[in-house]
Structures are given as structure tokens and as C-alpha cells.
């Protein structure tokens, strides 16, 4: 049977773990809130981009000289385009794994 000192140490340990968990939850909540605010701030830009792209696609119509992005393929296939940034490098293993599940991958290999 554990001694009184062992029980007190265990209780204190559980309390400390609870404090650390609470602090981690607060940090995660702050990060989530910041990410949600950034996403909401970018919404008007995304809506405007969709409107511009839609009007551009409508003006090009079914022209054969139009780029594939605007003309479309006529099918419901989804193509993935990976564009890594300099701030978050994407290694070749990631690009290869995306390529296995996609019909088209466009990304620089550095």
C-alpha cells in the first residue's frame, strides 16, 4: 500500500498535469481563433477572385484557343496542383505521394 507521502506526490503530479493541459488548450484556442480570423479576412478576396475567374471563363466561352483552366475538360475529374512556397518547403516525398493520388501535379523540384 502506498504511503501518505506517495499519495500526496501523486495528487500534486495530477494537479500539475491538469495545469499544463489547461495551458495547452488555451494556446490551441488562441491559434484556432487567429486562423479563423485570417480565413474570414481573406473571404472577400476569394469571392472577388471567383467572380473575376467566372466572368473570364464566361467571356472565353468554348473557344479552343482558351487555356484548359478556363475552358474546362467537360468531365468531373479533379486535378490537383501543388505549389510549394519558399516559406514552407515541400519535399520530394510529399510531392511523390500527392502524384500517386492525382492525375496532374505541377510543382518545382528543388
- Per-residue pLDDT of 4-36, as tens digits, reads 999 999 999 999 999 999 999 999 999 999 999
Give buried/exposed letters for 24-39 (b at 16+ CB in 10 A, else e).
eeeeeeeeeeeeeeee
Quick: pLDDT tens for 62-81: 677 777 766 666 777 666 66
Predicted confidence band of residue 109 (pLDDT cuts 50, 70, 90): very low
CA–CA dist 78, 58 (Å, integer): 20
Q: Mean pLDDT over all residues of the chain?
A: 78
Rg (CA), the chain: 26
Predicted confidence band of residue 91 (pLDDT cuts 50, 70, 90): low
CA–CA dist 85, 10 (Å, integer): 48
First to last CA, the chain: 62
Amino acid at each position: 500500500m502506498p504511503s501518505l507521502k506517495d499519495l500526496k506526490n501523486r495528487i500534486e503530479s495530477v494537479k500539475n498535469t491538469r495545469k499544463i493541459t489547461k495551458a495547452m488548450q488555451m494556446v490551441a484556442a488562441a491559434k484556432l481563433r487567429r486562423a479563423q480570423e485570417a480565413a474570414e479576412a481573406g473571404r472577400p478576396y476569394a469571392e472577388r477572385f471567383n467572380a473575376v475567374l467566372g466572368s473570364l471563363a464566361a467571356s472565353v466561352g468554348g473557344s479552343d484557343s482558351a487555356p484548359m483552366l478556363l475552358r474546362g475538360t467537360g468531365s468531373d475529374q479533379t486535378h490537383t496542383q501543388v505549389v510549394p512556397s519558399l516559406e514552407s518547403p515541400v519535399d520530394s516525398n510529399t510531392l511523390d505521394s500527392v502524384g500517386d493520388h492525382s492525375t496532374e501535379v505541377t510543382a518545382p523540384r528543388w
